[in-house]
Amino acid sequence: MLKISTIFALGVLVILVPFSGFPLEWKNFLYVASGIVIAGFSVLIRKELHEVLRHLHGDEVKTESYTENSPKQENPVENK
């Protein structure tokens, strides 16, 4: 939950920076630093979500292979 709260706080910071009166260099630094932190936390949250979903759906490995059912073939030599 700390990651989500941090992303929210950085979003509010990004909204308020244009009205802060900081010099342009500081604003640019705050934008870049906020963007890097938001991207990093987003990756971490995505990894956690992937782990939770894998845990919920089980550890089965699903493949997209297809096998067609066919009738049982009788050996013609045995019938004679």
Mean pLDDT across the chain = 84
Is 64 a member of any domain?
no
- Position 45 scores a pLDDT of 92
| pLDDT of 59 strictly over 80 | no
- Give the pLDDT band of residue 63 (cuts 50, 70, 90): low
pTM over 0.95: no
What is the Cα–Cα distance from 33 to 29, expressed in whole angstroms?
A: 6
The answer for residues whose C-beta is within 8 angstroms of residue 42's C-beta and 6 or more apart is 7
Is 75 a member of any domain?
no
Specify the DSSP class assigned to residue 19.
G
* Host domain of residue 50: 2-12+24-57
Is 79 a member of any domain?
no
For residue 74, CA distances in Å to 9, 66, 78, 79, 80 come to: 72, 24, 8, 8, 12
What is the Cα–Cα distance from 33 to 64, expressed in whole angstroms?
A: 42
Is 62 a member of any domain?
no
Condensed to tens digits (0 to 9), the pLDDT of residues 18-41 reads 999 999 999 999 999 999 999 999
- Position 17 scores a pLDDT of 93
- Position 52 scores a pLDDT of 86
